[in-house]
Structure 1
Amino acid sequence: MTRLETIIREVEARLKVGLDADVKRGVSIPSRIGNSGLVIIRDGDPGDPDVTLSPLTYHFDHALELEIFADGASDRFTRFDVIKEQISTVFAADRALGGLCDWIEAEAPRQEDLPVEGGATIKAAIIDVVVQYATADSVG
């Protein structure tokens, strides 16, 4: 398994434990969001690595994406805020993911309200999670 895949699986495992929301990876956005909210992990973009020689090492600043959704007419703002806070807490607890990466940090969310025909809007955001890691292979 590549370093990147190992990191993504660890991020998923930690979010599943640390969030009260449902956490899924790479799924389509469902038509209904549960009361607890939903976080979808997208593999994101590794960008262009910096390369050092002797030994050959590729240094990535890979941006994973977390799509956050909170539904419910009365409490979606509170639920949304709780999910964001829990994400921050998960990453702040161990910035190196147990040695899998050099640093992990969530950036500020890009927020929007998604209209729903005949219902309350869904509070949504994308949070880029930048993972800095090094590997001997450019594939990740």
Structure 2
Amino acid sequence: MSRREDILSAIFDVLRTGLAAAVRRNEVLPEKVPAAGLVILRDGDPGAPDVTLNPRTEFYSHRVEIEAYVPRDAQGGGEAALDALLGLIGAALMADPSLGGLAENMVPSAPETGALAIEGAAPVLNARLVVTVDYLVSDPLAG
């Protein structure tokens, strides 16, 4: 596998094992969000690398997106549940910001939050955060 895929798989595994919420990768939003919440990892954009020569090395600041969803409760709340889920995501990611040596560093952004009305389903609260993962490769397709 490429370094990019190794990193994305590692982030997915960190989230899957560190959260009680359901964790998916590159999924469409289902009509129903589980009571414990739903987290979707989006592969994001590696962007244009900085390149050094001799030996040729490419430095990426890959912007990975994480979406978090919790059901809105009957009283119109749920913000505390979303905040708790975001805290757990942050703790899981920051336990090892180098992902076992795969990355140079990993930095999450502050989340953008909102509410979604899904036709035929209960409304949900959502948050989107960008996690910037810095890594080096000698070959962007196989490295």
- Whether the TM-score (by the shorter chain) exceeds 0.5 is yes
Query: Could you tell me whether the CA contact under 8 Å between 1:20 and 1:83 is conserved in 2?
Result: no
Cross-structure match for 2:24: 24
Name stretches of at least 5 consecutive residues in structure 2 with no aligned partner. none
Cross-structure match for 2:100: 98
Cross-structure match for 1:55: 55
Report % sequence identity.
Answer: 36
- Deviation >3 Å, runs of 4+: 116-120
Query: Could you tell me whether the CA contact under 8 Å between 1:106 and 1:130 is conserved in 2?
Result: yes
Code of the residue aligned with 2:55 in structure 1: it is: P
Q: Deviations over 1:44-95 (max 9, x none)?
A: 0001100000110000000011111110315622221111001110122111
From the two aligned structures, give the one with the greater helix fraction: 1
Name stretches of at least 5 consecutive residues in structure 1 with no aligned partner. none
Q: TM-score, normalised by structure 1?
A: 0.93
Q: Secondary structure at the match of 1:63?
A: strand
Return 7-16 or 74-83, whichever deviates more: 74-83
Q: How many aligned residue pairs are there?
A: 140
Q: CA RMSD in A?
A: 1.6
Q: TM-score, normalised by structure 2?
A: 0.91
CA distance in 1, matches of 2:45, 2:99: 19
